Amino acid sequence: SGDAPEADGALSVLRRVFGYDSFRGGQQEIIEHVIAGGDALVLMPTGGGKSLCYQIPALVRKGVGVVVSPLIALMQDQVDALRALGVRAGFLNSSQDFDERRLVEAEFLAGELDLLYLAPERLRVDSTLRLLERGTISLFAIDEAHCVAQWGHDFRPDYLQLSSLHERWPDVPRIALTATATEATHAEIASRLNLGDARHFVASFDRPNIQYRIVPKSEPKRQLLELLRTEHDGDAGVVYCLSRASVEKTAQFLVEQGIDAVPYHAGLDARTRAGHQARFLREDGVIVVATIAFGMGIDKPDVRFVAHLDLPKSVEGYYQETGRAGRDGLPSTAWLAYGLQDVVQQRKLIDTSEGDDAHRRKLATHLDAMLALCEAADCRRVRLLAYFGQASPPCGNCDTCLTPPKSWDGTIAAQKFLSTVVRLKRERGQKFGAGQIIDILLGKKTAKVIQFDHDALSVFGIGADLREGQWRGVARQLLAQALLAVEGDYGTLVLTEASAQVLGGQRKVTLREEPERPGRAAKAAKP
């Protein structure tokens, strides 16, 4: 590439081709390592600047850099952006017809490409492998490398066969990149991609400009609207919902409120999806309401907020999704509304999930870590970074740092709640969900209470000293602390082994106080 590529150092490529003055974070070390022919495993948060880590070595080394990426929808954009900089880039994926593919193949063989983007399934096709063998390859970059992790939510079976690249091309350096970074995923990537000798580069995962806030959910759409009106008027953002139905409902609600919002989920046809994504990327102030199908690889610098209306399944997922905010380094909000129903629903999803017990235990561990983050009374950022094995001092810019939640001794409240569950079971042979139990505690004579004669129970009305919202908080936190469990399809509550210790007075229960106005847990302070 260029006139004298071998003589062109990394820094001069950075300046001449990309127009940047200096490297960021660990980029320079990584780039030099790969230029020298070493394998690398790069863990860097979203927006950290992973692309240059393989693009520059591809330009400096002789031959074509082959980039494996699952993001077919973005390849055209990525290649166009590179071409605009004068980099000779092309791609091969299923969206092309025969002639388009032939053209790219001819360019590759003629040595007229610096970078070739490939969908992973292309490497299953023998003709692709034969094609690659006829050219000169400078490096293999494996983007979104966590797609090889089998229980991760982005698993792509085609990634498993990427381990064989090393056998076919033992002298070509490989660089695997991801923004997903627990120790476990990390190790799984290294082993599945056969990267035993690769050097690991782990960047700091702190995103100091993102303010993390987690609030109890009462009326999620209203709470979201308040957040948008008071702090993010006219800003671009992403709102994540668990189901397609709630994506549709939420988007429609926002539109009715005069907000420029579009839905995005896998149930929409490809053209609508592409259109909505394009509006989000190219226009100002568009809000995408989406399932987690949206976002991987989306590079929009000025996303000012990411809101979750449902609980993410894991801390990794939460970190990835919130990480799409604030790539430009300006103050941004990560806001999550979470409630009792989320815990019930997620536990149910795990119970009915496919896979063996070991898999279910793993999902439960992920959920528990997410719940611990939600119920944390100390700095969210400290918790989040600790999850990725990184230490940090309290940040001063998350909801718990700004408004430290008070904790209270909830032992008696917990005993009241748990003994209501016990009485229903022992005296009536019944199980109920949290709503009915709270109505009994509050002494509410609802139709359902009267129907089941629950006002005759000795526990009826024993919890009138707390508000309904406080009781919901008690139930949610008991579930989060595994002092209560969900059973069956209707979210009915049952005791756990640990509940007995609370009922017997051997175990104290410390709870977080519920805020009076849930949506307003903390007002944004500029970092």
- Site residues (CB under 6 A) for ligand ADP? 20, 23-24, 27, 44, 46-52, 299, 327
As measured in angstroms, the least distance from the Cβ of 208 to ligand ADP is 16
Cβ proximity to Zn ion: between 402 and 494 the closer is: 402
Decide which of Zn ion, ligand ADP, none touches 44; Cβ closer than 5 to 8 Å per partner kind: ligand ADP
Radius of gyration of the chain from its Cα atoms, rounded to whole angstroms? 26
50 binds, among ligand ADP, Zn ion, none (CB under 5 to 8 A by kind): ligand ADP
**Which does residue 314 bind out of ligand ADP, Zn ion, none, counting CB within 5 to 8 angstroms by kind?**
none
Give the shortest CB-396-to-Zn ion separation in angstroms.
Answer: 6
Q: Which does 323 bind (CB under 5 to 8 A by kind): ligand ADP, Zn ion, none?
A: none
Name which of ligand ADP, Zn ion, none residue 379 binds, using a CB cut-off of 5 to 8 Å depending on partner kind: Zn ion
Segments of 93-147 assigned E as strands = 115-118, 137-142
Q: What is the 3-state secondary structure of 453-516?
A: CHHHCCCCCCCCCCCHHHHHHHHHHHHHCCCCEEECCCCEEECCCCHHHHHCCCCCCEEECCCC
Token look-up 């939420």 returns 250
List the structure tokens of 388.
């990725």
Q: CB of 325 within 8 A of CB of 333?
A: yes
Residue 327 CB, nearest approach to ligand ADP (Å): 6
Q: C-alpha distances in angstroms, 77 versus 84, 141, 457?
A: 10, 18, 65
Helix axes 434-442, 411-428, angle to 10 degrees: 110
20 binds, among ligand ADP, Zn ion, none (CB under 5 to 8 A by kind): ligand ADP
Among ligand ADP, Zn ion, none, what binds residue 139 when CB lies within 5 to 8 Å by partner kind?
A: none
Q: Give which of 364, 308, 361, 315 is closest to 479, Cα–Cα.
A: 364
**Shorter beta-carbon distance to Zn ion: residue 426 or 523:** 523
Cβ distance 387 to 330 under 8 Å?
Answer: no
Cβ nearer to Zn ion, comparing 376 with 478: 376
- In the complex with Zn ion, the residue whose CB is nearer, 93 or 400, is 400
- Of 299 and 468, nearer to ligand ADP (C-beta) is 299
CB of 514 to Zn ion, least distance (A): 20
Q: Are the C-beta atoms of 308 and 185 separated by less than 8 Å?
A: no
Instruction: Return the one option of Zn ion, ligand ADP, none that residue 48 interacts with (CB less than 5 to 8 A, by type).
Output: ligand ADP
Binding site residues, Zn ion, CB under 5 A: 379, 381, 395, 398, 401
Q: Which two tokens mark 354?
A: 């496919």
To ligand ADP, the closest distance from the beta carbon of 18 in angstroms equals 7
Can you state the angle between helices 315-322 and 380-387, rounded to 10 degrees? Answer: 110
Closer residue to ligand ADP (CB): 30 or 371? 30
Least distance to ligand ADP from the beta carbon of 359, Å?
A: 29
Closer residue to ligand ADP in complex, CB, 223/320? 320
Q: 220 vs 515, which CB is nearer to Zn ion?
A: 515
The SS3 assignment for 20 reads: coil
Q: Cα separations (Å) of 136 from 62, 109, 174?
A: 8, 8, 14
> Residue 440 CA to chain centroid, in angstroms?
38
We find the least distance from the C-beta atom of residue 196 to ligand ADP, in angstroms, to be: 24
Taking the C-alpha atoms of residue 242 and residue 370, their distance in angstroms, rounded to an integer, is 15
- Min CB(44)–ligand ADP separation in Å: 5
